[in-house]
Structure 1
């Protein structure tokens, strides 16, 4: 007989204790990382008097897979049995007692644990699309070229050939057609058909181009960062691979120095690795300990043995410092020359999942996004009271990513409330006003890793100070990232995000959808199934989750890094270029071919994938898009 013991745990959340566990250590490590159960620990024990349970007739131990355990933990029965305080039964989430006051205290998530959400009634109140504020920004000239009044009124859409003709003729270049010339590049949104599909044997977590477009790196769950020469953005060359030698779970983030000489990358530890990008330099990476204070002591709340998780790391514009967001709710600035932490603030109320500098030319303004649903603005020139300069309030769930436009004014954030928001620094909320709010009391408490967001339960934050809200993509399973499109190749006309449904969503500034890149569709069956292994639950289904995407700064090319494959157990980096929606071309090599991590062709992958898709689709080659 299996005994389940749940009791209050004085230790921080996400801790577990085990008695005579029937779970192997690797599963317990994964649960420690993946489950948030509040101040609860679970003990798995076997009744010593019961010799029949937990094993087979030969006395061998029966082991549960992670999927089976999560199914048990998330079962409806346990949700109704346990609640947050004292494990007393509470009403079901959508129970019969619609008017019960107890609903205000109901909490959700796996096993029903999470933040408390307020009572809400009525249909969801989604923001207006197109956004009026977004339309003003599109006409301001700050985000790309504005279409002319005549074309807007007549709803004209000129072809690319016609716009190029006017540019080449130079007719009235300072008049009406000047805007046509500026708008040529920004209309070239990459298509779904991939130029290349780079396969990894582990989930791919992030990938970014350098600021000059000559370099690309991708991070995978096998604790490796691969680097590529992209000076010709259409023909990549493999550069080198660096390792995180003592990683935990995965590489969480990476950042490239402004001069492209060094790469800093992190894992779920307090250590950041700093590796040279020179392929001729094979030295081990330098290890930076972000838990040490300027006096050399280990910071309060840290453990020299266990450390803390670094979720996000970014280089400053001058390359002298890095800023990091951590799992102990802190923002850390680390000086690379002195090898010391020069700033550590711990004002957030939950994990800091994303950080960035506000201005690429100045290290003073910092942004941080947290699971407490806020974006906080830090001005290092005025931190005598160690308080933030202001707060962006508007998300109702935790944040997964924060990106700066680089002009010290506009900021973009992605959130588990299934929205992306644009912020203006001039509209931030003051700390005095923020102190009067219950800023974390508006969420449903759902667990984005295992559950679907209850969209019919969405209501806007009553103190939302964002400029534009973008909806349509799915921020589930993992910390999905969002970005501004680059000024060089798009005029900063768009914002874009990955999505759990296998797509990249590209939005206009008015919150309308400019285009999508369907990675799931174009990579489906792009690698053979390892049939020699016994499939686990869900392994037979091809799944794609685009976790990150990067738009080349000088060309209409986008690279999407994804969890991709059978059971979403492997990864890909797909290269998408603007090709006027063509599904094939006459160039060499052909588009859509598969490659390994070092860009060696995989003809077996291509041949088997084509035969699989032919066999499964009754329309034959229509499944390939031909």
Structure 2
């Protein structure tokens, strides 16, 4: 098997130095204009709220006080806030203050994830611990899962839609599933509880790896909870049927490690994947039997892709890249294939221990198809993740990411402006998660700290711009 560029060189190590600067390049084309209009509609207040006082002209940035007065006086004629009104108010209050320390471990934290309803928070650590905290119960530990047969670290976790089960992956072809509703708080794999192993190496006609010793970088439940999709170091995407207890399909997806995969929307037919071959790809499972290849390719990153998050509308996605950028994509602009668009990678640079070459920081792919590019954070040492902000509270007005400089960055989706930089951690922030409803953000860092950012009076820990 070809040696993965995520192969361990040492345990965690020290945080990289600060710096890197802030620079944004946003492509002002029709794609950005379209998502800008959609985002504005989801987070702009009703026009009548700007006319709280007679004779006042309409203003797009209506204060919360005016919004409340307008609601009480029923200026909109609805006697309540619409979802756009709510987003306009709540998106003004970002979870940038604090933080409070939820937990501190003697192990690098790799994963942080709120559940879909925001009642649970999952954190995965390098030493095999996965902790599930009850957010509404003072962040008490509801489940302490101890993985076994772990390779290197917990690479990913995913909660089932009904929040009864959790799957976790590592640098192994075996993904484990745990019942988190059981009465046992201490869940030690196959000692106090059974952690059922789902074998991703047993796919028939698999000739990609003689010994089957590949690893899983990304794992996700489908919206209906019937399937699990996984991205692996054997250059493939797998879909596992839980009812049949077998792999449904293996897609030889890329020419290098597949670091990330996710569903495009709730239907579950379309997948997005990202790889160290610099490409994002779009897969329609309904066409695989006839086409036998991807539905399209998104070209623009100069280095490998560490994570992808879907906008959820089947059109847009964002990706984090080792070229130190986040890119926004519109799949309607994708190519039919990557032929003639590949670039030679910089073999003298390794993101695991080297800084990104300064002369490449603002280089652009000659055939860049992305809608917008966001810069300022750092993607080094590990597969750092990025996300859209929640739909309910912000209308997905922002994107946010961890960073190798130990900060968390929040960008305005449309303008590309950096609106906040959260500074507290002492080492790499690999993952972070914005609460689906409340102004709250959880972060996990290689310093072993799980932190919670929210609206409290402690401005010394945050820099906003």
Interval containing the TM-score (normalised by the shorter chain): 0.7 to 0.9
Q: Is the 8 A contact 1:372 1:398 kept in 2?
A: yes
Q: Evaluate the alpha carbon distance shift between residue 503 and residue 335 of structure 1 in structure 2; reply closer, same or farther with a 3 A threshold.
A: same
Matches within 5 A, 1:406-555: 406-431=312-337, 434-435=338-339, 437-441=340-344, 446-457=349-360, 458-509=362-413, 510-520=415-425, 543-555=426-438
1:238 to 2:113 alignment = no
Which residue is equivalent to 2:188? none
Q: Is the 8 A contact 2:424 2:462 kept in 1?
A: no
Instruction: Look at both structures and tell me which one has the larger radius of gyration over its CA atoms.
Output: 1
Q: Evaluate the alpha carbon distance shift between residue 389 and residue 143 of structure 1 in structure 2; reply closer, same or farther with a 3 A threshold.
A: farther
Q: Is the 8 A contact 1:268 1:309 kept in 2?
A: yes
SS in 2 for 1:291: coil
Distance 2:43 2:443 in 1: 26
Select the residue among 270, 281, 285 that pairs with 2:173: 270
Distance 2:86 2:201 in 1: 52
Alpha-carbon offset, residue 443 of structure 1: 5.0
Select the residue among 436, 443, 447 that pairs with 1:560: 443
Alpha-carbon offset, residue 170 of structure 1: 3.0
Q: Evaluate the alpha carbon distance shift between residue 182 and residue 546 of structure 1 in structure 2; reply closer, same or farther with a 3 A threshold.
A: closer
**Consecutive unaligned residues in structure 2, runs of 5 or more:** 14-22, 52-56, 185-191
Select the residue among 359, 370, 390 that pairs with 2:265: 359
Q: Evaluate the alpha carbon distance shift between residue 148 and residue 131 of structure 1 in structure 2; reply closer, same or farther with a 3 A threshold.
A: farther
| Over 4 Å off, 4+ runs | 65-68, 129-133, 147-151, 153-159, 172-175, 177-182, 442-445, 622-625
Distance 1:328 1:174 in 2: 55
SS in 2 for 1:195: strand
Distance 1:66 1:506 in 2: 28
The TM-score normalised by the length of structure 1 is 0.64
Deviations 1:85-127 (A, max 9, x none): xxxxxxxxxxxxxxxxxxxxxxxxxxxxxxxxxxxxxxxxx86
Which residue is equivalent to 1:33? 7
Which residue is equivalent to 1:600? none
SS in 2 for 1:500: coil
Which residue is equivalent to 2:450? 573
Which residue is equivalent to 1:287? 197
Question: Per residue, is there more helix in 1 or in 2?
Answer: 1
The TM-score normalised by the length of structure 2 is 0.85
Distance 1:192 1:512 in 2: 19
Q: Higher relative contact order by CA 8 Å / sep ≥ 6: 1 or 2?
A: 2
Which residue is equivalent to 1:228? 133
Which residue is equivalent to 1:313? 219
Distance 2:341 2:316 in 1: 25
Select the residue among 208, 212, 232 that pairs with 1:326: 232
Q: Is the 8 A contact 1:442 1:461 kept in 2?
A: no
Distance 2:441 2:12 in 1: 34
Q: Evaluate the alpha carbon distance shift between residue 516 and residue 167 of structure 1 in structure 2; reply closer, same or farther with a 3 A threshold.
A: farther
**Consecutive unaligned residues in structure 1, runs of 5 or more:** 1-10, 15-30, 36-64, 69-125, 521-542, 565-570, 585-621
The count of aligned residue pairs is 434
Q: Evaluate the alpha carbon distance shift between residue 210 and residue 445 of structure 1 in structure 2; reply closer, same or farther with a 3 A threshold.
A: farther
Q: Evaluate the alpha carbon distance shift between residue 475 and residue 183 of structure 1 in structure 2; reply closer, same or farther with a 3 A threshold.
A: same
Alpha-carbon offset, residue 363 of structure 1: 2.2
Alpha-carbon offset, residue 180 of structure 1: 5.4
Q: Evaluate the alpha carbon distance shift between residue 223 and residue 156 of structure 1 in structure 2; reply closer, same or farther with a 3 A threshold.
A: same
Question: Per residue, is there more strand in 1 or in 2?
Answer: 2
Deviations 1:11-64 (A, max 9, x none): 7336xxxxxxxxxxxxxxxx99235xxxxxxxxxxxxxxxxxxxxxxxxxxxxx
1:139 to 2:37 alignment = yes
RMSD of aligned alpha carbons: 3.1
SS in 2 for 1:251: coil
Q: Is the 8 A contact 1:397 1:444 kept in 2?
A: no
Which residue is equivalent to 1:402? 308
Distance 1:252 1:484 in 2: 21
SS in 2 for 1:193: strand
